[in-house]
Structure 1
Amino acid sequence: MGNVRSLPNKMDELAALTRHQREYRECSLLLFTETWLTALTPDTAAELDGFTLLRADRSKESGKRKGGGLAVLVNDRWCNPGHITVKEQHCCKDIELLAVSMRPYYLPREFTHALRMVVVYIPPSANADAACDVLLSAVSRLQTQHPDALLLISGDFNHASPSSSLPKFTQQPAVTRTVKKWSEEAEEALKDCFNTTLWDVFSDAHGEDIDSLTHCLTDYINFCVENTVPTRTVRSFSNSKPWITPDIKALLKEKRRAFCVWK
């Protein structure tokens, strides 16, 4: 799921990711908001090999001349293209919505009907209450048609919070965890700690008992790390990637700024 702010100029990168990264190649769905696709943009500009494209471009009813747009790319190895149907499509100044029905090759026994995927984009200038009302109406219609179907909602809601209008839907909560904040200063302090350690004391105390010596040294090293390297508390979301470090985030921001200046 991503707010791409223009999909066509990112297709080369997505094509490379789906070819070379297993996480992208084997994923079931790629969901995009703010595709910036228009009626003048051919499907070939946003297609990926092995994926079926469904798009809902921003229309005149939105009252805006550019921006917006939704797209869903369904993995052909996960779902037959003939078993994909657009159930709802809505575009106004407050919300853009695309509801897709899919029946994958394998469907858990608990779900007797094809699953429904609702992709939503609510602009920052939208009336949040009006947008949530439209979303509630669309979801209610889908649930009335097939009450037992699995219904997923994803998108960019900005300031709108559908929790009050859709209280039975839940979101994976963020997990708070503590991580070490490594730096050159912390590494130097840890080196000083090790340099002043009398390591012979450990070998003298445990003799030739290698297992006991290993456990003792490990505990001591962890003790030094705990007392030397500072920690910080971070929130980890379900879609957070472990390889996205603060340095990479800074580079991504620079990339977006460079693109905006160039455009």
Structure 2
Amino acid sequence: MANETWCGHKSIQELKSFCSPDLEFLTIKCRPHYLPREFSSIIITAVYIPPQADTSMALNELYLTLCKLESIHPEAAFIVAGDFNKANLKTRLPKLYQHIDCATRAGKTLDHCYSNFRDAYKALPRPPFGKADHGSILLIPAYRQKLKQEAPTLRSVQRWSDQSDSTLQDCFHHVGWDMFRIASDKNIDEYADSVCEFIRTCVEDVESANHCF
């Protein structure tokens, strides 16, 4: 069902299959060996809608199935691919992205690949397999995981040594704390603010910062 080097068979689960004169599809859930952390799994649906099909019925069935799966697996990546002929899934699910923009048969794009994330694949036309009357499509992954989309951030991290602790303790030991109480004139808020500000100043004086990416 799937290439073992991409996903082991124990990590593949069939979720639903459907067969009628208007629509055939099979949906599986995969947990590949490597998966960007923003996705919990990949749910793939292989679709065939015959040329003479009632496309409205077919698309409605797909819509109901995919909506239900999205509610159950909100963090999954969804891929819907196959021969849609004259049907267009975006008429039911406009938030999906269609990645095939080249002709697959007789100058028309009958084969589609949809996903729920933008710029997932780059589609390249390839010759048909055997005697097939549809051209094949090579989908090259173009998705960049969120971790690589975000710019590095600079953070400041406190590093305390034994010498820093000793210096801070010595600073507090030689302070006349009564001066803060006297200066506040029995105003508890002013007293607390002045003591906290003094402590903060002492900490800033003795701390050493280490900057890292």
TM-score by length of 2: 0.50
**Higher share of residues assigned strand:** 2
Q: Of Structure 1 and Structure 2, which has the larger fraction of its residues in helix?
A: 1
Structure with bigger gyration radius: 2
